[in-house]
Amino acid sequence: MSLLKTPAVVLKSRKWGDADRIVTFFTLKHGKVRGVARGARRMKSRFGSSLEPFVHCDLVLFEKPGDTLYRISQTDIRHAFPSIRTSLEAITGAARLANLAGAVTADGDAVPRVFQALLEGLRAVGESGDPVLTAALYELEILRFAGYLPHLDRCNACQQRTNGGTWFFSPRAGGTVCSACVRQEPVRCPSVSPACLAFFRQALRMELALLPRLKPTAAIRNELYDVIELYVECVAGRRMPRTHGVTGEERVPGRSGWAGGKVAEKRPVYRSRAAAHV
C-alpha cells in the first residue's frame, strides 16, 4: 500500500453507498485521480467541507493494489473559495473550468500548468464582477496549457495570413480558416469578426493576472462564447454538461440556429485517453 501526498482541487464529488463519497480530484503531482472518502456524508465526518467541488486542499491518498480507486485518508483545506458559492454565475463558471480541466487531461497524467490555470481561474471567478467572461478567458488558458492553443494568425488550412476579409473559426483545425477553406470544413465554423479576433489575440497574449481587465462588448462576448463552446466540445470529444439556462445569461445564443448537432473530431494531444470522463 503506497501513500500519495499532493496539492489538489476537487473537480467533482458524488454520493456513494450510505455515507461515503467518491471524489474526482485534479492533483498537481498525479493529474486526475478518483478516491473514495469513507463516512464523508456523516454529520461529524473528519472531511468536513473539504470534499466540496472547487476546494483547493492538501490531499493524502492511499493506493490499494489492484484497485483504480484510491482511499482518501486526509484533506487539509488551503483555499475554499467561499465567494464562488454565493453566485450562480460563479458556480457555473467554476463548473465549466473544473469540467474542462477534467476533460482535456487523462487519468493519472500530471499537467502542472493546467493545475495552475485551474486554480487561478477558480480564484478569479470567485472574485470577478463578471464571472461568465472570467470563466471563458480561463477556459482559454486551460486549453492553452493542455496543448490546444488556438492559432489565429493565419488560415490553418492554406496558411494565408489573417489580414482583412471574413474569417471563420474551425474547431477541428484549432484556429482560423479563410472563407475559401471553410467550405471544406465538415462541421459548423462560426465567423469571427475582426474585433473578436483582435480581442482573442490580446487575451492569449496577456498575463493571467491581467485578464480581468479585459472588457469586451456584448457582440464580441457572444462570438467568443460561441467559439469557445464549439472548440471545447471538439477538444473534449463530447458535449460538455449544459450550464446555460441556469443563469440569466445565455452562454451560447447562436447555438439555437445550429442544426448540425455533430461534434467535430479533433486529434487531441492525449489521443484516445483524452475523452475520459471526469
Partner 1 sequence: MDRNGILDELVRELTSLPGIGRKTAQRLAFHILKQPSEDAERLIRTIRAVKEKLGLCRQCRNIAEGELCDICRDPTRDATRVVVVEDVTTLHALERTGGYKGLYHVLAGALSPLDGVGPADIRTQDLVDRIAQSKVEEVIVATSPTIEGEATAIYLSRLIKPFGIRISRIACGVPVGMDLEYADEVTLIKSLDGRREI
Listed ranges 78-86, 104-112, 186-194, 260-268: which one lies at the site for partner 1 (CB under 8 A): 78-86
Q: Which of 174, 195, 186, 190 is nearest to 257 (CA)?
A: 190
Taking CA 106 as the corner, what is the angle to CA 101 and CA 112, rounded to the nearest 5 degrees? 60
For the chain, give percent helix, strand, coil, nearest 5.
Answer: 35, 25, 40
- Taking residues 216 to 255 in sequence order and writing x for each that binds partner 1 by CB under 8 A, - otherwise, the string is ------------------------xxxx-xx-x-------
Q: Is residue 189 within 8 Å of 168, Cβ to Cβ?
A: yes
Q: Which is nearer to partner 1, 139 or 200 (CB)?
A: 139
Q: Is residue 8 within 8 Å of 24, Cβ to Cβ?
A: no
For cell 454565493, what's the residue? 86
Largest CA distance in the chain: 64
Task: Tell me: does residue 82 bind partner 1 (CB under 8 A).
Answer: yes
Work out which of 10, 132, 155, 232 binds Zn ion, going by CB under 5 A.
Answer: 155
The residues in 31-70 that bind partner 1, with binding defined as CB under 8 A, are 43-44, 48-50, 52-55
Count of residues that interact with partner 1, criterion CB under 8 A: 34
- Minimum Å distance from CB 96 to partner 1? 8
Q: Which is nearer to partner 1, 5 or 85 (CB)?
A: 85
Task: Tell me: does residue 180 bind partner 1 (CB under 8 A).
Answer: no
In angstroms, the CA 105 to CA 24 distance is: 13
Task: Tell me: does residue 157 bind Zn ion (CB under 5 A).
Answer: yes
How is 92-127 classified by DSSP, letter by letter? HHHHHHHHHHHHSS-BT---HHHHHHHHHHHHHHHH
- Minimum Å distance from CB 93 to partner 1? 9
The residues in 3-32 that bind partner 1, with binding defined as CB under 8 A, are 11-13, 17-18
The residues in 86-125 that bind partner 1, with binding defined as CB under 8 A, are 86-88, 91-92, 95-96, 98-99
Residue ranges that bind partner 1, judged by CB under 8 A: 11-13, 17-18, 43-44, 48-50, 52-55, 77, 80, 82, 85-88, 91-92, 95-96, 98-99, 240-243, 245-246, 248
Give residues in contact with Zn ion (CB under 5 A): 155, 157-158, 178, 181
